[in-house]
Structure 1
Amino acid sequence: MVLQIPGVNFDIDIIKKYDIPTPRYTSYPPATELNEAFTASEFEQAIACSNQRKTPLSLYFHIPFCQSACYFCGCNVVISHNKNIAKPYLEYLGREIKQIASLIDTDRKVVQIHWGGGTPNYLSLEQVENLWNNITHHFHFDPQAEISLEINPSYVDKNYIFFLKKIGFNRISFGIQDFNPQVQAAINRVQPEKTLFEVMDWITEAGFKSVNVDLIYGLPYQTYQSFHETIKKTIELNPDRIAVFNFAYIPWVKSIQKKIAKDALPAPKEKLEILKMTIEELTNSQYLFIGMDHFAKPHDELAIAQRNYTLKRNFQGYTTCGQAELFGFGATSVSMLEDAYAQNHKRLRDYYQAINASVLPIAKGIKLSEDDILRRDVIMRLMSHAKLHKPDIEDKYHICFDEYFCQELEALQLLESDGLVSLSKDEIGITETGRLLVRNIAVNFDAHRLTKEQKFSRSI
């Protein structure tokens, strides 16, 4: 069966054929390649090289705390009703900010900030303001900086939303997952429809520049009809961006998912029908299919960046600030520099211990080779722009593309025969059939894939 949607051909037989574990390529090499041999001193050296490049900065701050556990969640979180737990964390986070800021050239401007979690609005307004003041004290902002955070709409009021806008946040994101009460109860994320629309009204009234909402398909008790209602209500909510993620049921990795009954999950056939319906409804409602699982209105920066071929990917997903180098702060956060990645300790105890020892709280990382950097560029162009112009790569890296990637191009010929790509002398193009399977196309350029495939979620 083939369904034609603007920019996408939904060929169920082809999707089933290629529905295999693949990286999401928010980075290359994938995060699974980070290793404990990478040291804090190596990261300091990478920062010194980064200063010489004088690239702008993207900053991520991880707030790991949640008041309750969402059973679908795969994030690194700490569940606690005792909000005093955040006090020492913020103290250590402030010390890490000072550590890293002392290593970064003060002439470099911040063009992007994101607070994620966990639940950033777990923090009190006083804590939010103190953290904000700490950040602005140590870093210089570009006047047009994108400043965003995630919120849980169940734990926020109008005053909180307006305060966020007042101190400087201009973009906001919140998770809906599903409007259906039965699904919400099954994943322990109960959010009445009235609450979601009320929060959206506050965000609109406060004047945030862009609003993103998250949905998840494949959750327990979801049906085609129930998720159709969720999509219709989401369109009525009228966010600027919508992310629709595939639920990866991996209770052997994320033990919290054991609370979800496997027999309550939609069957694979219905899950595909849900995805097909979702893409059709959103694209028919003027949302553009940005890539993989993101949709945006034509005026949104994601859509504009894709049209201008400036859209990139990093550990946070698609980004409009691809020229910036990412520095992550807080437990489990990841930094992504041009030639090195580093991840902080996940456990609070280890994170605190490193900072007390006056060393960067790096648990693992990787130094990228020249081949890694080249392959990353190829993969990210395919993931972000659905095509690659070979001469651009040849001019930038001084290679003959067809010789350097002769084995990869041979592998792509099978995908071409299945209608996923079109190959020409100067270009690799991803077809409308291949857009949903862009990970399967990109993986052919992944030199690390052979030993790591089993660790990734499935393509669809």
Structure 2
Amino acid sequence: MHVAIEDSGSLVLRKPEMELIAKYGGPVPRYTSYPTAIQFHAGVDAATVNGWLGTLRDAGEASLYLHMAYCKSLCLYCGCNMKVTNKQDTITAYVNVLIDEMRRTAALLPERLKVGAIHLGGGTPSYVPMKDLRRVFAVMHELFDVKAGAEISMEIDPRQLVDGMPALLGELGFNRASLGIQDTNSTVQNVIRRVQPQALNVRAVTQLREAGVQDINVDLLYGLPMQTPETMRQTVADIQELRPSRIALFGYAHVPWMKKHQAVLEEYNLPDAEARLDIFNTAVEALTKAGYVAVGIDHFCLPTDPMAIAAKDGDLKRNFMGYTTDAAPVLLGFGASAISQYPQGYAQNITAPADYLDAMEKPGLPIARGVAVDAGDMARRGVIEQLLCGMRAEGHALDELLVQRERLNDMVQDGLAEWQGDTLRVTEKGRPFARAVAACFDAYLGKGASTAGRHSKGV
């Protein structure tokens, strides 16, 4: 179902809304899948996935995700599945195994799969030796039919962009790059151990565009230690100099019980809820003033960017990489911790790189867990995706799919959502709470194993 996005409106929250944040801004899934990864279990294994792969005949276009697990250093805010190494041989050995996984997967397909989108995440994909990147793409083209004009993108650390890499990316067909910047203030950068002068960002963007990688994304974080509205205002000004077509504005998730290295940041000034709100508002106002339109709950795009157009036309999608214009029903993930999506469900590879490498010494695919979906899951997934992508969901079945009726009624009473006939609409006031509205349709939330501490804050 196509549901065009509501007017981009405003994501700005005012101080009176602090009470609403206390009421509805608690931990809630990001809903990059439904069911979410917490519902994954070992009952979905390699044999399950073998069967799912065997059904992919006439599957249309698929997408590929390659997880490059290694970084040169650890950023203290990091919540990614990654491993630090200074040894290029370690990365090469990992790439060898990832290529083997691609071959094993392709051998299980009933026909050669058409690919319309490829994304390299991590970790730090730009840290992969150029010779290894060439090998990956040679094998990819050997195994799959990559369509002309496919969106090919990579996450890039400007600190780890060696001479020749931008030219190679252009040669391999990359047309979009996502730069991790987070914050341009030197004090904040020193605290989070990611010192990245603006000159490096400018150099990276210039070289990428000269090589033909024209579409640039930038990732920013709010809620970092030592961050203030003033530092965020300057960060947005610095980002404007780069003029990316997309900006992701994520809230820093402080989860030291899951990522022990984050505990170091507690020695510094972590913004409280009210300070986070001020920083968030500053970023939203500055980005809007700079000509960006709000897309979904955490993205800002130039009006001409395909994501902004997809949102306006009701074609925006959401998957494990967040918001996307990619509507492919199949996503094949390769590498440690990579998640694949099939019509029948989701499957995740073994998470730790060392364990992934060990598993690949045996026959078969390195599947750790997953979940099969039923008709109810797919219906709820559709509603949740509509709410997070278009800020409204419609259909006669909404009432039947609603799980937390009283909570949604409270949100309607507080002006965060409203019913318009059979359509549930997230209001302008409620836009920052869209995940909480969507959670009212989650049949798993609060059931089964404890989810305490597993989700980021809703606002």
TM range (shorter): over 0.9
How far apart, CA to CA, are the structure 2 residues paired with 1:82 and 1:370?
47
Deviation, structure 1 residue 428: 0.8
Which runs of structure 2 are paired with 1:37-436 in the superposition (5 Å)? 37-49=43-55, 51-52=56-57, 54-391=59-396, 400-402=397-399, 404-405=400-401, 407-436=403-432
Kept in 2, the 8 Å contact 1:5–1:283? The answer is: no
Cα shift readout 1:81-120 (whole Å, capped 9, x = no counterpart):
1121112211111110001111224353101100011111
Deviates more, 1:19-28 or 1:345-354: 345-354
Secondary structure of 1:74's aligned partner: coil
**Alignment RMSD:** 1.8
Q: Percent identity?
A: 35
Match of 2:26 among 10, 20, 32: 20
Deviations 1:113-164 (CA, angstroms, capped at 9, x unpaired): 0001111121111111111111111110121211000111012145211111
Superposition deviation, residue 453 in structure 1: 4.3
The whole-number CA distance in structure 2 between the counterparts of 1:406 and 1:332 is 32
In 2, distance between residues paired with 1:406 and 1:318? Answer: 24
Select between 424-433 and 9-18 the one with higher mean Cα deviation. 9-18
Asked if 1:6 corresponds to 2:2, the answer is no
Structure 1 Cα separation of the partners of residues 405 and 272 of structure 2: 35
- Quickly say closer, same or farther: Cα 1:262–1:302, change in 2 above 3 A: farther
Q: Does 1:34 align with 2:40?
A: yes
Q: 1:397 — aligned with what?
A: none
Q: How far, CA to CA, are the matches of 2:442 and 2:379 in structure 1? A: 11
Kindly tell me: are residues 78 and 405 of structure 1, through their superposed partners in 2, closer, same or farther at Cα, counting changes over 3 Å? closer
CA contact (8 A) 1:21 1:453 kept: no
TM-score after normalising by structure 2: 0.93
Greater displacement, 234-243 / 351-360: 351-360
Offset of residue 263 of structure 1 = 4.1
1:408 Cα deviation (Å)? 4.4
Between the aligned partners of 2:361 and 2:79, the Cα distance in structure 1 is 29
Query: Distance in 1 between the 2:26 and 2:63 partners?
Result: 32
1:364 alignment partner, SS class: strand
- The question of 1:446 aligning with 2:451 is answered no
Q: Give me the whole-angstrom Cα distance separating, in 1, the residues matched to 2:359 and 2:9.
A: 51
What SS does the aligned partner of 2:13 have? strand
Q: Which amino acid aligns with 2:214?
A: K
Structure 2 Cα separation of the partners of residues 58 and 285 of structure 1: 32
C-alpha spacing 1:401/1:291, structure 2 compared with 1 (3 Å): closer
Query: Once the two structures are superposed, what CA deviation does each residue of 1:391-422 show, in whole Å capped at 9, x if it has no partner?
Result: 5xxxxxxxx443x2365455422111111111
1:261 counterpart letter in structure 2: E
Q: Distance in 1 between matches of 2:431 and 2:404?
A: 19
Distance 1:282 1:81, change over 3 A: same
**What is the rounded CA distance, in whole Å, between the counterparts of 2:267 and 2:315 in structure 1?**
41
**Counterpart secondary structure, 1:360:** coil
Paired with 1:419 and 1:371, the residues of 2 have a C-alpha distance of: 28
Aligned amino acid, residue 216 of structure 1: L
Q: Which amino acid aligns with 1:142?
A: K
Question: Residue 73 of structure 1: CA displacement?
Answer: 0.4
Counterpart-to-counterpart distance in 1, 2:438 and 2:204? 38
Deviation by residue 1:311-362 (Cα, 9 ceiling, x = unmatched)? 1111111111123311100011000112210100112333223322211100
Task: State how far apart, in whole Å, the 2-side matches of 1:271 and 1:348 are.
Answer: 34
Q: Which has the higher helix share?
A: 1
Which structure 2 residue ranges, 5 or more long, are not aligned? 1-6
Distance between the aligned counterparts of 2:8 and 2:389, measured in 1?
19
Equivalent position of 1:396 in the other structure: none
Secondary structure of the structure 2 residue equivalent to 1:261? helix
How far apart are 1:377 and its partner, in Å?
0.9
Q: Verify the 8 A CA contact 2:8 2:295 in the aligned structure 1.
A: no
4+ residue segments displaced more than 6 Å: none
Displacement of 1:254 after TM fit? 0.1
The one-letter code of the counterpart of 2:291 is: Q
d(CA) in 1 for partners of 2:57, 2:115:
16
SS at match of 1:419: coil
Structure 1 residues 422 and 202, CA gap change in structure 2 (3 angstroms): same
AA aligned opposite 2:226? Y
Which range moves more in the overlay, 187-196 or 22-31?
187-196
CA contact (8 A) 1:23 1:453 kept: no
Which stretch shifts more, 152-161 or 347-356?
347-356
Which range moves more in the overlay, 273-282 or 405-414? 405-414
What is the aligned length? Answer: 447
Conserved in 2, the CA contact under 8 Å of 1:340 and 1:366?
Answer: yes
AA in 2 matched with 1:388: A
Structure 1 residue 363 displacement after superposition: 0.5
Runs of 5+ in structure 1 lacking a partner? 392-399
